[in-house]
A and B are shown apart, each in its own frame.
Chain A
Amino acid sequence: MTSQGPTVAIFATCFNDTMWPEAPRATVTLLERLGCTVVFPREQTCCGQMFTNTGYADEAVPLVRKFVDVFERYEHVVAPSGSCVGSVRDQHAMLARRSGDGGLVTAVEELTPRVLELSEFVVDVLGRTDVGAYFPHRVTYHPTCHSLRMLHVGDRPLRLLREVRGIDLVDLPNATECCGFGGTFAVKNADTSIAMGSDKARHVRETGAEVLVAGDNSCLSHIGGILGRQRSGVRTLHLAQILASTEEDPA
């Protein structure tokens, strides 16, 4: 495919960049396959969510400023994380107001609606649901809370998955219930977090799926950590990895 599509700045997110590079790599592969020109502004670091949600707003404000500086020149910003996009779209305005910097408030209001989660970008901007992927495995999808209730991505990820050739997509029971990760919650309330994660893992196993897919590696690593500890024989993949998968280059 030729590069006829839009230019997209990828926001890799610090967590994916450092711990789960497979997801932003697959995002690049997928978007390039769909004809986009992908750029990676190297000055990017972190959206600040971990600081904001732990109560460290003063530490988060400079990261909001940095995010604006790095991305405001781009028409499309795409991240393989519902949670980080949720923080940008839902929390950056509040942080900018806290900073008392009117210019930052305006810049944030201008930029953040253009920051999209992967499935939003592919379905709404590119207008695609069949992305030419091939993944002949039994898969179940967990809609992560921030994708679902902050971004309202709805069934976009499922519409994309349903078009994947060879896939055996099965419903996850109690799908919309939180997996219990919640960032800082998993550390501060570890026992409750594990109680929630164990139930999520049980529902995943009930499906008989071989692969659990979601749009957020933070949640996936939490559930995957429990599934792994149980030697459950279920692996986790980011949505981007399945959508990037082809016969020649399988995930």
Chain B
Amino acid sequence: MSTSPADHGAPPTGDVGAGPTAYPDEPAPLQRTSATFLGMPSFQTAAKAALADTQQRRNLAHATATIRGKRAAVVAEVEAWEELRVAGAAAKDEVLHHLPHYLEQLEENLTARGATVHWARDAEEANRIVVGLVQERDADEVVKVKSMATQEIELNEALEAAGIHAWETDLAELIVQLGHDRPSHILVPAIHRNRAEIREIFLREMGEVGRPAPEDLSDEPARLAEAARLHLREKFLRAKVAVSGANFAVADTGTLVVVESEGNGRMCLTLPETLISVVGVEKVLPTFADLGTMLQLLPRSSTGERMNPYTSMWTGVHAGDGPQDVHVVLVDNGRSHVLADPVGRDALRCIRCSACLNVCPVYERAGGHAYGSVYPGPIGAVLNPQLRGTGSDVDKSLPYASSLCGACFEACPVRIDIPALLVHLRTQVVDEASGRSVEALGMKAAAWTFADHRRLEAAQRAATVGGRLLGDRTIRTVPGLGAWAQARDVPTPPKETFRQWWRRTHGDGAGTDGTGTDGTGTDGRTA
């Protein structure tokens, strides 16, 4: 069985610039928050707990500093890095502005080369398609290539619910899966774990689901990798079905691409009879030549390597070579909703390199779990509230989970201006609110004060009088300011504001050229 485009009136047609045409009669729906992340607390609440996890703090500080250094070194080698970034952004923009066209082209080329294309509006539909395909082949297990899309739709949970084991074969994903844990990084899902913890997980859990770890396992990386390899090998050789994602899907050839480091992906993509790839609709690239840009940008940005060890490409079915039964599930799951926002849709350029996570000082300290999604860090802070809307505590708080330092934008290989998107989403959060919160009233009052310099001067007079009474320029405790003043000294207002000083030393008016103000009518000289 397969859901053909005709089942839904999909694929979309026409230019998406005018609105996502997969949903011609209605606004494109939001992604439903998956079971795992329902009821997540706000970022600041989750971060507060995470900040106290000393082991995670140390692991993250060490791991992100290492990968930041590697990335910086290999990016600095490329003279035309900025041109590459611009080209990468342009290729993605081309797709996002004409998504229906490129999706149709992709489907046509995939189908012509023997693959079967399925369309899924949301996670539930995508999971139903994959579970159905596995069941039709009488399989009770699948091997998996690391994939953000399948994590997003919680495919493993759906497969388990249907009695099908999903074996993660990426080393870090395996650690997370065996540890009954959640990934905390896009590229290095177990970044919050150290070697000692991994050894304990392997010893405790491997035997429950397959070949046990050797009893004398140490925490040396080589021994840990060996244990994983032996544990996984029997699964690779046995499994009839593999499930992958794709880093890129090339429209003009129908080629899917998976980029990886360990070779586990290559095993999954070549050994089993059936290969099912779950691909977000934004993964399309216009032409094969665009891969030239992307394959330079991605490895340097993500692992800090000049080229990743394994790049697998497959174009439909090749007789006698690799899987003979090839399926591609194209998933929307909220992406059309993001596409409808001409500012916010820049986030769909993302190639999931995770450079923005590694350079983010907030991510480094709070860790990935506080973001309440499989997409953590700066990109998660802009993507999740767009995919899921800003109704929940966590999605409302994510646009504020940043100091707007701009390190993410600087690192992003496809030039997503994440700080600008965060500000855009903050405006959305405020616009959707009642406008009667303490914060909103305070902002309105402040705006009223700033609307006229005479009001500002009056407010300043009150402050400087306070400053004179307090005398010193430092306050050590301020009731009501909470954590702000718990760890910081807070300055008190000076005895004289700048404008009071200016009037005392330079006289009234704008200054010496006399053109700067009509201030003579707005005196209010009381300082």
Which of A's residues lie within 8 Å of B, judged by CB?
7, 9, 12, 14, 16-22, 24-25, 28, 37-46, 48, 50-57, 59-60, 62-63, 66, 73-74, 90-91, 94, 145-146, 148-150, 176-178, 180-198, 221-222, 224-226, 228-229
A57 to B399, CA, bound (A): 15
B406 CB–A CB distance under 8 Å? yes
CB-CB under 8 A from A180, the residues of chain B are 361, 403
CB distance from A237 to the nearest CB of B (A): 13
When the two chains form their complex, are residues B483 and A40 in contact, meaning their CB atoms are under 8 A apart?
no
A186 to B405, CA, bound (A): 13
CB distance from A180 to the nearest CB of B (A): 6
When the two chains form their complex, are residues B511 and A38 in contact, meaning their CB atoms are under 8 A apart?
yes
18 contacts between A and B (CB under 8 A): A7-B513, A24-B498, A38-B511, A39-B512, A42-B508, A42-B522, A51-B447, A55-B426, A63-B450, A63-B451, A73-B515, A145-B405, A180-B403, A182-B405, A189-B43, A190-B44, A190-B482, A225-B489
CB distance from A130 to the nearest CB of B (A): 26
Q: A20-B494, A41-B516, A57-B427 are in contact. Are A195 and B51 (CB under 8 A)?
A: yes
CB-CB under 8 A from B436, the residues of chain A are none
When the two chains form their complex, are residues B460 and A18 in contact, meaning their CB atoms are under 8 A apart?
yes
When the two chains form their complex, are residues A91 and B423 in contact, meaning their CB atoms are under 8 A apart?
yes
A180 to B361, CA, bound (A): 8
CB-CB under 8 A from A225, the residues of chain B are 488-491
CB nearest to B424 among chain A residues: A94
Q: A57-B427, A63-B447 are in contact. List 7 more A-B contacts (CB 8 A).
A: A43-B517, A43-B519, A44-B453, A189-B47, A189-B362, A192-B366, A226-B488
When the two chains form their complex, are residues B460 and A17 in contact, meaning their CB atoms are under 8 A apart?
yes
When the two chains form their complex, are residues B463 and A18 in contact, meaning their CB atoms are under 8 A apart?
yes
- Contact for B491 among A40, A55, A181, A221, CB less than 8 A: A221
CB nearest to B406 among chain A residues: A149
CB-CB under 8 A from B80, the residues of chain A are none
B509 CB–A CB distance under 8 Å? yes
When the two chains form their complex, are residues A17 and B510 in contact, meaning their CB atoms are under 8 A apart?
no
Q: A21-B501, A39-B512, A180-B403 are in contact. Are A222 and B453 (CB under 8 A)?
A: no
User: Is the interface on chain B under 10, 10 to 19, 20 to 34, or 35 or more residues?
Assistant: 35 or more
When the two chains form their complex, are residues B44 and A178 in contact, meaning their CB atoms are under 8 A apart?
no
CB-CB under 8 A from B456, the residues of chain A are 14, 18, 45-46
CB-CB under 8 A from B450, the residues of chain A are 14, 45-46, 48, 63, 66
CB-CB under 8 A from B509, the residues of chain A are 42
- Contact for A194 among B401, B404, B463, B488, CB less than 8 A: B488
A228 to B489, CA, bound (A): 6
Which of B's residues lie within 8 Å of A, judged by CB?
43-44, 47-48, 51, 361-362, 365-366, 397, 399-407, 409-410, 420, 423, 426-431, 439-440, 443-444, 446-447, 449-453, 456, 460, 463, 474, 476, 482-484, 486-491, 493-494, 496-502, 506, 508-513, 515-517, 519, 522
CB nearest to B467 among chain A residues: A19
A73 to B510, CA, bound (A): 12
Q: A40-B511, A195-B51 are in contact. Are A185 and B497 (CB under 8 A)?
A: no
CB nearest to A188 among chain B residues: B400
CB nearest to A40 among chain B residues: B502
When the two chains form their complex, are residues B513 and A146 in contact, meaning their CB atoms are under 8 A apart?
no
- Contact for B474 among A18, A38, A228, CB less than 8 A: A228
When the two chains form their complex, are residues B403 and A182 in contact, meaning their CB atoms are under 8 A apart?
yes
CB distance from A56 to the nearest CB of B (A): 5
When the two chains form their complex, are residues A17 and B499 in contact, meaning their CB atoms are under 8 A apart?
yes
- Contact for B439 among A21, A38, A54, A228, CB less than 8 A: A54
A94 to B424, CA, bound (A): 10
A245 to B498, CA, bound (A): 18
CB nearest to A47 among chain B residues: B450
CB nearest to A229 among chain B residues: B489
A187 to B484, CA, bound (A): 6
CB nearest to B487 among chain A residues: A194
- In the A-B complex, the 10 residue pairs with the smallest Cβ-Cβ separation, listed nearest first, are A182-B403, A39-B511, A225-B488, A55-B426, A190-B483, A55-B430, A178-B405, A149-B406, A21-B498, A59-B447
CB distance from A87 to the nearest CB of B (A): 10
- Contact for B453 among A22, A42, A94, A226, CB less than 8 A: A42
When the two chains form their complex, are residues B515 and A178 in contact, meaning their CB atoms are under 8 A apart?
no
CB distance from A12 to the nearest CB of B (A): 5
CB-CB under 8 A from B497, the residues of chain A are 17-18, 21
CB distance from B290 to the nearest CB of A (A): 28
CB-CB under 8 A from B453, the residues of chain A are 42-45
When the two chains form their complex, are residues B423 and A53 in contact, meaning their CB atoms are under 8 A apart?
yes
When the two chains form their complex, are residues B447 and A195 in contact, meaning their CB atoms are under 8 A apart?
no
- Most chain A beta-carbon neighbours within 10 Å: one of B366, B450, B490: B450
A40 to B366, CA, bound (A): 43
Q: A40-B502, A56-B443 are in contact. Are A145 and B488 (CB under 8 A)?
A: no
